[in-house]
Amino acid sequence: MTAYEQMVKFEIGLDMGLLTLDELRDFVSAALKEKDVPYIYTDVFLSLDKGQEEITNVIFYNLQGNYTADRKAGNTVQRALIGVIRDKYRSGTIDKAQCVNYLHRLTDYADGDWNLLSIDEYYKLNKSGYCSDEDFEARLGSIFANAI
């Protein structure tokens, strides 16, 4: 992922409540230890203590002319966020309901495919007993398969 894609991932992740400021701080701190880091990392690092709104403004300002969102269903940022959701779900950090909520909310930021949009229905069917846990997990598995 490019630096700009990473920052868009954090901007959307923070807005959704999926990622935290501490996770952003850890990522940017680690990135700044490398040589020749993009300026956006430095700019974001310097804004970390100013709150989420200021960080979002800094990311937005730095993206101007440097990044154009790819709104196709398989774009890199969306796939990376699905990977974050997958990892947090599998580690037990988020439960099934939160996982479904995050996947559904992700469609607000990118063109969602049917799998993302239909996960709510599979969850409702699973809760009501019309869809087995195995079928539900298989549906999640098909969504998670393209994650990075």
Residues 42 and 81 placed together within one structural domain of the fold? no
Closest C-alpha among 67, 26, 20, 17 to residue 45: 26
Residues 82 and 52 placed together within one structural domain of the fold? no
Closest C-alpha among 111, 5, 1, 10 to residue 67: 5
pLDDT for position 54: 92
Residues 38 and 81 placed together within one structural domain of the fold? no
The pTM of the full predicted model, rounded to 2 decimals, is: 0.86
| Under 8 Å between Cβ of 120 and 101 | no
Residues 138 and 111 placed together within one structural domain of the fold? yes
pLDDT for position 111: 62
57: enclosing H helix or E strand: helix 52-63
Condensed to tens digits (0 to 9), the pLDDT of residues 62-104 reads 888 766 665 544 588 888 999 999 999 999 999 999 999 999 8
**What domain count does the chain have?**
2
Q: In this structure, is residue 54 part of a structural domain?
A: yes
Residues 31 and 58 placed together within one structural domain of the fold? yes
| d(C-alpha 104, C-alpha 36), whole Å | 37
* Backbone angles phi and psi of 47, in degrees to 5: -100, 0
Residues 59 and 82 placed together within one structural domain of the fold? no
Residues 80 and 140 placed together within one structural domain of the fold? yes
Closest C-alpha among 68, 44, 46, 45 to residue 58: 44
Residues 80 and 59 placed together within one structural domain of the fold? no
Spell out the per-residue pLDDT of the chain, length 148, in tens: 888 889 989 999 999 999 999 999 999 999 999 888 888 999 999 999 999 999 999 998 888 876 666 554 458 888 899 999 999 999 999 999 999 999 988 888 766 566 677 788 888 888 888 888 898 888 888 889 888 8
Q: In this structure, is residue 68 part of a structural domain?
A: no
| Under 8 Å between Cβ of 88 and 13 | no
Domain range for 51:
3-63
